[in-house]
Amino acid sequence: MVVLSKHHVGLAGTYRRAATRALNALLLSGAAICAAYADTQVGQTLPPPPSVLYGDLFVAVQTAQIYPDQKTFVDATPNADPAAIVQLYEQQKNTPGFSLSAFVAQYFTPPVDQVITPPPNQSLREHIDWLWPALTRTTTSVPANSSLIPMPKSYVVPGGRFREGYYWDTYFTMLGLQEAGREDLVDDMLDNFAYLIDTIGHIPNGNRTYYVSRSQPPFFSYMVELAAQKEGGRVYQKYLPQMRREYAYWMQGASALAPGGATRNVVMLPDRTVLNRYWDESDTPRDESYLEDVNTAKMVSGRAPNDVYRDLRAAAESGWDFSSRWFGDNQTLTTIRTTSIIPVDLNSLMFHLETTIARGCGEAHDFGCVGEYVGRAAKRALGINKYLWNKNGYYGDYDWQLAKPRDNVSAAALYPLFAGAAWPDRAHRTAQAVEAQLLKPGGLATTTFTTTQQWDAPNGWAPLHWIAVQGLKRYGRADLAQPIGTRFLADVKNVYATQQKLVEKYIVEGEGTGGGGGGEYPLQDGFGWTNGVTLQLLDLYGGG
C-alpha cells in the first residue's frame, strides 16, 4: 500500500474524480541532450568546455598545476581567439626557454575572487541581508569563449571560488531571499532556470560550459512551490512546461529499458520498477578537477579509467562530491561506484517533481495529465518503500548492480520525509535512527563515516539540516527537528561571532565545532545556502 501525504491524497482524489481516465501518453519526447552549441536567447552560442576548446594546452596547464585550484583556469577568460592561442602554443611549446606559466599569463585573464568586507558590528541577520547584493550577479552577456553561460536575469552565487550559480544551492538560497523580502530575485532565478531548460534541455550543475554534461539534484519543482506560496497557484501553471521538460530529461530512455537494465539517469529493476540514478553524459576527467580525477583513476585497478571518470562525474551531479555513500568500501574514493547506486534523495525529489507536475496540470485543467502523474508518483512511492528502505530501520540507497541495500545511514535518509513519500511508521523509525546515529553537539552529521571527504563526518551542511527539520516536522517529530535546527544554528552563530562570516559547511562533532573541512578545495566563505537556511532557522527558533 502506498501512503502519500494528506495533500497528495486529496490532490489525487480531486483530480482523479474529475478525469475520465488517465492519459496513456508517452513521456514528453525530445528533451534536449546537453548541447555544447545550443543557441541561447541572448543571441550567443555556447562554446565547448575548456578541455575541448584548448585540447593539449588544457591538459598541459592542469597537469602542471599552473594554478593551485584547477577551477581557476577553466574560469579564466582567453585574451585572443582560442584557435589562435592553441596554434601559438603548438608553435612555441618545444622552443628553448618556453615558459608555460608565462604563456598562460599572456593569453589568459584569471578570475578575481571577490573580497567581502562587511561593516562592523552587524548582527547575524543584518549580515546576511547585507550579503545578498554582494553575492548577486547579472551576466546577460559574457566575454567571447568564456566558460560562463549568460543568463537573462540576476542570480545569487554561493561565494568564494563558486563564481557562478548552482542548481540545488539556489533553492536553499531562495528560502532566505524570500524571508528577506526579495521575491524579485526568487522570480529572476526561477526564470533563469526555466530559460536553461528551454535552451539546453535541463538545468546544468552550474552556469558554466563544463557543467552542461550533467544536472544536479532536481529542486526546480520545490522552487516553483516556494514561489507559489507567495504568488498563488498560477506559478504552477506558468512553469509546467519546464517541469515536464525536466522530467523528460531525467527519464530519458526509460521507455526502451528492459528489466535489470539502465541507461543515462534511469534504472529498471527486475520487477520493472523504474527509479533514477545520478549520471553524467561525459566519461572524461572533470574540467574543474582534471588532475584530481586523473590521479584517482590511476589508483584504481581492474576498471577502465572512463568508467571511473563517469562515477566521479555522477557523484558531482549528486552534489555530494564526495561521500562514503558512493564508495564500495564506505571509505575510499578509489572504490567509487555512483552509477551503480539508486539514491534515496534523488528519487524523493523525483516523487516531488511528479506530484508538482500533477498540481500544475490541475491548474491548467488537464485532468488526464493529473491522473498520469499522480500514478507515476504512486509507483515511485512504492519503489522507494520497496528498494530504498533498509531493514536496519531507515531510508537509504540501493546498489542495483549488487541487488542489495547500502548499509550506511546518512542525512539523506530524511528526504522521503521531506517529500512526503515515507510511510508513517517508517518515517518514525528513520527519525529514531537519525537521532541515535547522526545527531551531534553541532547538529546533524552527514554520515557515520569519517573519510576526509567533505560529505562525510564530522561535517554538517545547511541544506541537509533544512531537509531534516522540515521532514521531521511533516511527520510529527518537531521535538527532534528542534534540537537538530538549534544545534546547527548555534554552530553557525559561533563561527560568525568569532570570524564574522558564514561558511559552506560546519564541523558538528568532535573536539570542537566550527568551519568544516575535507574535499578538493579549502573551506569557502559566503555562503549562499547557509545564509538562506540560517534565516529560516532564526525565524523558527529565535535569535538574530
User: Could you list the active site residues?
Assistant: 321, 504
String of DSSP letters for 520-542? SS---B--HHHHHHHHHHHHHH-
368 is known to lie in a ligand binding site: no
Q: In a 10 Å sphere around its CB, with 0-12 CB exposed, 13-18 middle and 19+ buried, how is residue 418 labelled?
A: buried
- Give the three cell numbers for residue 527: 555562503
340 is known to lie in a ligand binding site: no
Nearest to 395 by CA among 462, 335, 468: 468
Cα gap 323→435, rounded to integer Å: 20
214 is known to lie in a ligand binding site: yes
Residue 61's Cβ-side half-sphere holds a number of Cα atoms within 13 Å equal to 28
Scored b (16 or more CB within 10 A) or e, 508-521 reads bbeeebbbbebbbb
216 is known to lie in a ligand binding site: yes
Q: What secondary structure, in 3-state letters, does 285-319 show?
A: CCHHHHHHHHHHHHCCCCCCHHHHHHHHHHHHHHC
319 is known to lie in a ligand binding site: yes
161 is known to lie in a ligand binding site: yes
Instruction: Classify 228 in phi/psi space as left (phi over 0), alpha (psi -120 to 50) or beta.
Output: alpha
The number of angstroms, rounded, from the C-alpha of 393 to the middle of its chain's C-alpha atoms is: 26
Any residues with CB less than 8 A from the CB of 95 and at least 6 apart, and which? Answer: none
CB atoms inside a 10 Å sphere around CB 35: 12
215 is known to lie in a ligand binding site: yes
272 is known to lie in a ligand binding site: no
260 is known to lie in a ligand binding site: no
- Give the three cell numbers for residue 191: 526564470
Any residues with CB less than 8 A from the CB of 379 and at least 6 apart, and which? Answer: 273, 274
Strands 404-405 and 398-399: antiparallel
Q: Dihedrals φ, ψ of 159, to 5°?
A: 125, 170
Annotated binding site for substrate: 161, 168-169, 205, 214-216, 319, 520
Annotated binding-site ranges: 161, 168-169, 205, 214-216, 319, 520
